[in-house]
Amino acid sequence: MRASTSLDLVVACVVGAFMARLTTWVDGGDHSATPAELEVAFRATVVPGARGAGGAAVMAAVIRQRCGAA
């Protein structure tokens, strides 16, 4: 598998996980956690795995995709 394909897969998984958690929080109506608390929990769960899968390149790609940059 090419490195760019692996990176695309990791980015898609991270973004998908973020969107799933956000959707559950918004649609579920359970706002016992603040948005800041959700972000901390999400990062604590996802960032170590993303770093292991490709380091800083993965996180840079996630930030670019999340911010809509090319």
What is the reported pLDDT for 54? 62
Q: Confirm if 7 and 57 have CB atoms less than 8 A apart.
A: yes
| The pTM of the whole model exceeds 0.75 | no
10-67 per-position pLDDT tens digit: 888 888 988 988 888 888 876 788 889 988 988 888 888 777 766 666 667 767 777 7
Give SS3 for 31: coil
Domain holding 59, by residue range, is: 3-67
In the predicted structure, residue 4 carries a pLDDT above the cut 80: no
Give the number of residues written for the chain: 70
Query: How many separate domains does the chain show?
Result: 1
Q: Confirm if 10 and 50 have CB atoms less than 8 A apart.
A: yes
The DSSP secondary-structure symbol of 29 reads -
Give SS3 for 55: coil
What is the reported pLDDT for 62? 67
The answer for residues whose C-beta is within 8 angstroms of residue 21's C-beta and 6 or more apart is 38, 42
